[in-house]
């Protein structure tokens, strides 16, 4: 059987399993009787849940909701429970609890956290495993995507029937939860993240050891993403760097998974007598995020590091595959002037788009080869000429 067809069948099977598991929770939280509660009086200790399979970018895009929640519950104790150790300190959170491991490990961790005796537990993103963890945590009140795309609860909401439509900005998934509580003035900015002195010192030591020309701007390039449908061709990165390396300091970037791709690009360039710096695999996640503060421009595919750049407000040119960039870039991104994109669909119209249900696979999208080197080059020079994209 063709590998593509087999993968599609596996993904569809996962989709059916998830829908089946969600159904009893949907019925329970949609139709069972609920009582009215005084939100300010009852919600004194709140748990926010974001674990696998949600990604790093998903959590970052939840942060406008976290800001909104803090503003409307100033006296509540708010904890984030997550397997993503990306924040040292967030002013809007009283505690960040990092849990690690597979599904069964996380179940054990959530059972231990019952001792926290939360008043309210919130699932910020649709994911059936999050619902299981919430059930184990057993807060008095439960809210969020408990059984599908509709916001559900075990108490009366001020606005019921709110759904994430899968055709709107991803930030809205969590922000609609605030709407269900009757909150109308929603935040549309990411949180501000503080980095420890230890993180700063480690990153600055690496930066100081790089061979950089102080008279040139720094362009950091992330050539790798786990999604093939979101990855630009490796040889295209080689061609791009050939075109721009004389005018900029080029630094290749990425986690341990990116090392092979980065080494391929460096070796191809070396054969042409071109040498560039790299920091691939040299940082933990927090350090990788802080490092982007040193970039004058970051070039990346739609991925976790793209969201890191948005969080630290680094100018970013992002390359998109089957995901509509309008739904993933910061809201009103043109207003900021430092974020821009190139989208595969603008060069080769897609038959279907990624819809948050399961991974969309299309051989025609893999590699994003339809996005030309010249267009990325032009965007780079335009940004540095004007100091902004728009």
pLDDT digits (tens, 9 = 90+) for 249-277: 999 999 999 999 999 999 999 999 999 99
What's the mean pLDDT when you consider all of the chain? 94
How confident is the model over 172-216, as pLDDT tens digits?
999 999 999 999 999 989 999 899 999 999 999 999 999 999 999
Instruction: State the average pLDDT over residues 76-95.
Output: 95
What mean pLDDT is predicted for residues 329-335?
93
Give the H/E segment covering residue 320. strand 316-320
Q: Let me know the angle formed at the C-alpha of 128 by 125 and 130, rounded to the nearest 5 degrees.
A: 60
In percent, the amount of the chain with pLDDT more than 90 equals 86
Q: For residue range 347-386, list pLDDT tens digits in order.
A: 999 888 887 776 677 777 888 889 999 999 999 999 999 9
Whether cis (ω within 30° of 0) applies to the bond prior to 53 is: yes
By the 8 A CB rule, do 76 and 43 touch? yes
What pLDDT shows up at residue 206?
97
119/135 Cα distance (integer angstroms): 13
Closest to 8 measured CA to CA, from 358, 353, 368, 365: 358
Taking Cα atoms as reference points, which of 341, 338, 328 lies closest to residue 371?
341
Q: pTM of this prediction?
A: 0.93
Q: Please report the beta strands in 33-88, taking only residues with DSSP state E, as ranges in sequence order.
A: 45-50, 77-82
Q: H/E element holding 381?
A: helix 373-386
Tokens 């409307």 -> residue: 72
The residue-averaged pLDDT of 112-119 equals 98
Beta bridge partners of 251: 220, 277
3-state SS assignment for residue 111: helix
d(CA 189, CA 173): 15
Set out the domains of the chain in order of their start, with CATH numbers: 17-193 (3.40.50.2000), 195-386 (3.40.50.2000)
């Amino acid at each position: 059987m063709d590998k593509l067809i087999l993968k599609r069948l596996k993904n569809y099977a996962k989709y059916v399993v998830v829908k089946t598991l969600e159904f009893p929770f949907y019925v329970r939280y949609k139709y069972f009787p609920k009582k009215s509660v005084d939100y300010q009086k009852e919600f004194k200790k709140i748990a926010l849940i974001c674990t696998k399979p949600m990604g790093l970018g998903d959590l970052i895009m939840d942060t406008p909701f976290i800001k909104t929640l803090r503003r409307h519950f100033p006296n509540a104790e708010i904890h984030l429970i997550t397997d993503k150790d990306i924040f040292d300190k967030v002013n809007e959170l009283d505690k960040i609890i990092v849990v690690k491991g597979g599904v069964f490990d996380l179940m054990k961790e959530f059972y231990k956290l019952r001792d926290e005796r939360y008043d309210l537990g919130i699932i910020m993103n649709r994911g059936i495993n999050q619902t299981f963890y919430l059930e184990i945590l057993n807060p008095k009140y439960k809210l969020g995507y408990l059984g599908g795309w509709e916001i559900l609860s075990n108490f009366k909401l001020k606005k019921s029937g709110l759904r994430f439509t899968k055709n709107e900005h991803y930030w809205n998934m969590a922000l609609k939860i605030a709407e269900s509580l009757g909150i109308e003035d929603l935040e549309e900015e990411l949180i501000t993240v503080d980095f420890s002195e230890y993180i700063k010192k480690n990153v600055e030591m690496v930066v100081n050891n790089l061979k950089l020309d102080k008279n040139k701007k720094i362009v950091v390039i992330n050539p790798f993403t786990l999604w093939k449908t979101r990855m630009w061709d490796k040889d295209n990165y080689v061609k791009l760097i050939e075109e721009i390396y004389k005018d900029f300091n080029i630094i290749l970037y990425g986690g341990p998974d990116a090392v092979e791709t980065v080494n391929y690009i460096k070796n191809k360039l070396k054969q042409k007598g071109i040498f560039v710096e790299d920091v691939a695999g040299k940082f933990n996640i927090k350090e990788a995020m802080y490092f982007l503060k040193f970039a004058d421009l970051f070039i990346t595919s739609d991925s976790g590091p793209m969201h890191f750049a948005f969080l630290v407000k680094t100018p970013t040119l992002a390359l998109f595959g089957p995901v509509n960039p309008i739904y993933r870039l910061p809201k009103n991104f043109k207003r900021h002037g430092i974020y821009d994109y190139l989208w595969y669909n603008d060069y080769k119209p897609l038959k279907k788009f990624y819809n948050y249900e399961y991974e969309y696979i299309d051989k025609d999208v893999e590699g994003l080869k339809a996005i030309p080197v010249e267009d990325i080059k032009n965007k780079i020079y335009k940004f540095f000429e004007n100091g902004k994209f728009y």
